[in-house]
Amino acid sequence: MAEQEFDEPHRLVSAGVVVGVDGSPGSEIAVRWAAALAASRGRGLHLIHGLDLARTVAVAGPYAVVTPDAISALRAKGQTTLRDARDLVHDRYPDLPVAGYLVNDSAAGALTELSERAYAVVLGATGNTGTLGHLGSTLLAVTAHAAGTVIVVRPDPEADGTVHDSGPVVVGVDCGPVSEPAIAAAFAEASERGADLVAVHVWSDWRAGMFAGADLTPSLDDIEAVEESVLAERLAGWQEKFPDVKVIRRVYVTSPAAQLQQWSQRAQLVVIGNRGRGGFLGLLLGSTAHSLVQHAHSPVMVVHAQQ
């Protein structure tokens, strides 16, 4: 696989695949997916379980004392969770290097910190909200604040909860530089997986209903032709670097989240930048990425641009 210049620290030999572990069904799915990724890329696998001791104290109340016995019980449960996850991995990949880490921090804090030097951070998700606890708070915190690549492993609710392992890689492309790392990652993933790449470009965030009763067809057609040329130009350099990847370009007028979610029904991976159109620094997680990590039918890779 060609190395990506935009995130060299994440491509070091020492950079492993990091996955959050909490013993939930979504976590087990993520562990299996992360193990397959690590094995296929020649990476080590790091299992992370956060005790979140600060939150435990806060929940207990300002005057309550969290006894050493209670902390010991939390640690013992965490060690059991990590051991079960290691067993799950070794049953399928007995030669894969696996390390388990029990941290006092929250899962979100630990995974965000580790993302700075990880090959990728993997999170589990089930349904439309549930993930590593707290109704998706860990998922949203990590995808918003992490560095590098975060992958949310979403099973397909319309396929008996299985995770797609075939189909194209789909990438969302906007007009700004923010999506460039996502494009690079998507080409690399498509090449690695031997999959087609579908590049989806939505040139307007307007709602379709805004056009009701207005005769804008000629101007919309003209704009769409320009946007198709822009998309082709954005992809041309990457197609030269990855000549083995077949690229399918799709341009739509509105609703980027809805278009990408629809493509996720047949994709094995959807790749998206972490910020919305224009890359405003205040929008740590763009609305499209926010929607996809909670509602897509396939794993979603959120690629963070380097600052």
Question: How does pLDDT run across 143-202, given as a tens digit for each residue?
Answer: 999 998 999 999 998 888 899 999 999 999 986 666 889 999 999 999 999 999 999 998
279 CB neighbour count, 10 Å cutoff = 16
| Most confidently predicted of 2-11, 102-111, 131-140, 174-183 | 102-111
The answer, yes or no, to whether residue 133 has pLDDT greater than 50, is no
Q: What strands, in cross-sheet order, belong to the sheet with 169-173? A: 98-103, 45-50, 17-20, 120-124, 149-153, 300-303, 269-273, 169-173, 197-202, 247-252
C-alpha distances out from residue 21 to 83, 103, 178, 287, Å: 10, 11, 30, 26
pLDDT band at residue 253 using 50, 70 and 90 as cut-offs:
confident
**CA 108 to CA 91: how far, in whole Å?**
28
pTM: 0.85
Please provide the average confidence, as pLDDT, over all residues in the chain: 83
The average pLDDT across 57-73 equals 63
**CA 14 to CA 285: how far, in whole Å?**
28
| Most confidently predicted of 5-9, 130-134, 287-291 | 287-291
pLDDT digits (tens, 9 = 90+) for 187-228: 999 999 999 999 999 876 544 444 455 554 555 666 677 788
67 CB neighbour count, 10 Å cutoff = 9
